[in-house]
């Protein structure tokens, strides 16, 4: 099957061997919070910040060792390079406050990454805490509350730098704050000034190339429906002016907006892009990623424009209604399938037709390649990687 597929793709000028090699080298970061429904190891109680993990499927990881074991099982089912994305609440902190976390609290994660050939990414956790109950953190009117979260984010950046330095692969430190109001605010400007000042204070320490700073916007959250301090416009301006990475989350925009269309636009203004790939249903509901049109469009935008070195791909969903290891594997494999399909497109021929204003040929190429046997290439890719070409319920 692969031999026939290889010949079919050669007929349109696509090298399947090169596609497999390229797909294998693009890291996809697996979100640790899928494994335990965003609970972490602080015993902080209920989720806040507009976050909700729905469902009661058995098997949630109860400690760091269980979570690492579950992640390892999931990664065995996914071909290609991988990272693990951690939130600050997943350190083995032994009671340390969030404004006192240190690299040593995450040493076991570094050991795990080294043993399994993984990279690590990091996120400060600005939700599910007594200092976030008001709905404001880095934009809080109380300087003391802001100082607490500023210190937490500073320490998070140092932990991210530690990850990158130890593992020889840059770690993305992504700052997302849930800040906002349930009802219409009287003052939209002052919280945004506070957020800008807090971010500048957090980022003023130079850390070098082992750490990549990113900021993430959101449209709204549960209990924060009327006003979000860190909107897309705020963070696009901030990332462009500070020349840091901008995070685009699939579920953080209006229902008619797609992040695939934003990738090329923002790439002109920011040095790097972080993607949080999710599947919103009605809102930022974080459903498991499926191989749908938007996922394939995201992959096409990365591949067609040669952005693999500037776009960092992370998954971001947490479904508690199904087997959590299966949720990881299904979503990560679909992200990988989308990347492989994009790599199997005849990009140069389609682009050449477009530049020649031969839109008939462009449409023919776009449509005909949809029926080419990418599944046979996927099967070969998995076989070479030691991952199963297909999943079965018996694996979970």
Q: Which residues are catalytic?
A: 176, 216, 218, 249, 252, 276, 284, 286, 316
Give the Cα-Cα-Cα angle 20, 383, 275 (nearest 5 degrees). Answer: 50
What residues contact residue 262 under an 8 Å CB cut-off, 6+ apart?
A: 248
Neighbours of 127 (CB within 10 A): 23
Task: Give the 3-state secondary structure of residue 305.
Answer: coil
Three-state SS for 139-161 is CCCCHHHHHHHHHHHHHHHHHHH
Report how far residue 132's alpha carbon sits from residue 136's, in angstroms, rounded to the nearest whole number: 6
For residue 260, give the nearest of 222, 293, 227 by alpha carbon.
293
Please report, in angstroms and rounded to a whole number, the separation of the first and last CA atoms in the chain. 28
Instruction: Tell me which H or E stretch contains 123.
Output: strand 119-123
**Tokens of residue 216, six digits:** 């993430």
Tell me the two tokens of residue 288: 């498991």
Q: Helix, strand or coil for residue 337?
A: helix
CA distance 138 to 230: 10
179 CB-near residues (< 8 Å, 6+ apart): 135, 136, 137, 138, 139, 140, 191, 195, 224, 228, 229, 230
């Amino acid at each position: 099957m692969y031999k026939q597929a290889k010949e079919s793709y050669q007929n349109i000028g696509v090298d399947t061997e090169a596609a497999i090699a390229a797909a294998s080298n693009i890291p996809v970061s697996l979100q640790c919070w899928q494994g335990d429904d965003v609970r972490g190891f602080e015993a902080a109680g209920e989720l806040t910040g507009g976050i909700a993990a729905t469902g009661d499927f058995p098997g949630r990881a109860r400690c760091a060792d269980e979570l690492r074991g579950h992640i390892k099982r999931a990664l065995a089912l996914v071909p290609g390079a991988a990272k693990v994305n951690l939130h600050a609440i997943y350190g083995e902190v032994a009671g340390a406050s969030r404004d006192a976390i240190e690299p040593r609290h995450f040493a076991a994660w570094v050991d795990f990454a080294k043993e399994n050939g993984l990279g690590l990414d990091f996120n400060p956790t600005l939700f599910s805490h007594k200092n976030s109950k008001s709905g404001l953190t880095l934009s809080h009117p109380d300087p003391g509350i802001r100082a607490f979260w500023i210190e937490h984010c500073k320490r998070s950046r140092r932990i991210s730098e530690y990850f990158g330095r130890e593992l020889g692969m840059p770690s993305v430190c992504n700052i997302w704050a849930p800040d906002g109001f349930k009802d219409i605010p009287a003052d939209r400007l002052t919280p945004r000034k506070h957020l800008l000042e807090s971010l500048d204070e957090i980022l003023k320490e130079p850390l070098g190339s082992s750490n990549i700073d990113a900021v993430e916007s959101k449209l709204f959250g549960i209990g924060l429906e009327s006003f979000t301090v860190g909107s897309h416009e705020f963070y696009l301006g901030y990332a462009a002016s500070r020349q840091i990475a901008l995070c685009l989350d699939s579920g953080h925009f209006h229902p008619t907006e797609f992040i695939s269309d934003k990738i090329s636009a923002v790439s002109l203004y920011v040095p790097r892009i972080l993607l949080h790939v999710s599947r919103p249903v009605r809102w930022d509901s974080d459903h498991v990623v499926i191989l749908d049109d938007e996922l394939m469009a995201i992959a096409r935008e990365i591949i067609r424009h040669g952005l693999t070195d500037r776009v960092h791909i992370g998954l971001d969903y947490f479904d508690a209604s199904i087997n959590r290891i299966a949720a990881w594997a299904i979503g990560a494999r679909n992200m990988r399938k989308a990347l492989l399909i994009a790599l199997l497109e005849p990009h140069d021929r389609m682009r050449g037709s477009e530049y020649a204003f031969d839109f008939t040929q462009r449409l023919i190429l776009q449509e005909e390649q949809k029926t080419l046997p990418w599944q046979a290439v996927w099967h070969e890719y998995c076989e070479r990687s030691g991952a199963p070409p297909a999943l079965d319920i018996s694996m979970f």
